[in-house]
Amino acid sequence: MLKMLEAMLQGSLISIEIFVLTLLFSLPLALPVALGRMSRSRLISGAVNVYLLIMRGTPLILQLIFVYFAPYYLFKISYDRFTAVIIAFVINYAAYFAEIYRGGIESIGLGQYEAAKVLGFTKTQTFFRIILPQVVKRILPSTANEVITLVKDTALAQTIGVAELFRVAQNASARQFSTMPIFIAGIFYFLMNWLVSALFTRFEKKLSYYR
């Protein structure tokens, strides 16, 4: 029993690592993607749109397999499974976050840009000081949704053999002929998401000083 819990703790650490690293890279990466999608250049917005269609139009589980195995079949290169998981998750989640950012950016009225321009702010200043802070507030609820989904999606990493929490739980449950480990894993995901939503609620409260 103790050994099983230890193994599951190990697995949950892997899940948390996937979760944190995915957010760490995909949240910033989504910004240039969103801007690319809104680019006036047809070539850039078209290319980004194709990327978004593929990422949002195919299952993440398939993307995981592709990211890990394609380099092997194409160039006979094999690499670390964990790295492959992070790459697949990051490019997938960046697509979803980018669309959330785009919605947020487009919801800011033209008047804010005009006021900033008349006051002499540069385009960069306008975006980072005037527009983006307001976007962050507006996209918080939908971003929370996506982040909560990510916690649960980490279970897909086992597809290419990364022993995250759910895989460990399944193994343990097979060995012990018991569903207990899977139930414990469920509690872990639940607690993790409880924490995530509590953090987002707090963040939303912090930004509620203006409308």
Residues that bind other proteins (CB under 8 A): 109, 111-112, 114-115, 117-121, 125, 129-130, 133-134, 137, 209-211
Six-digit token string for 79: 């690499």
| CB-based contact 86:96 (threshold 8 Å) | no
Q: C-beta of 117: minimal distance to other proteins in Å?
A: 7
Taken as a whole, the chain contains a residue count of 211
Q: C-beta of 137: minimal distance to other proteins in Å?
A: 7
| CB-based contact 187:38 (threshold 8 Å) | no
Nearer to other proteins, 57 or 109 (CB): 109
Measure the CA–CA gap between 165 and 78, rounded to whole angstroms: 24
Nearer to other proteins, 8 or 116 (CB): 116
Nearer to other proteins, 6 or 106 (CB): 106
Q: C-beta of 119: minimal distance to other proteins in Å?
A: 4
Q: C-beta of 111: minimal distance to other proteins in Å?
A: 4
Among the listed residues 148, 27, 49, 46, the one whose alpha carbon sits nearest the alpha carbon of residue 94? 27
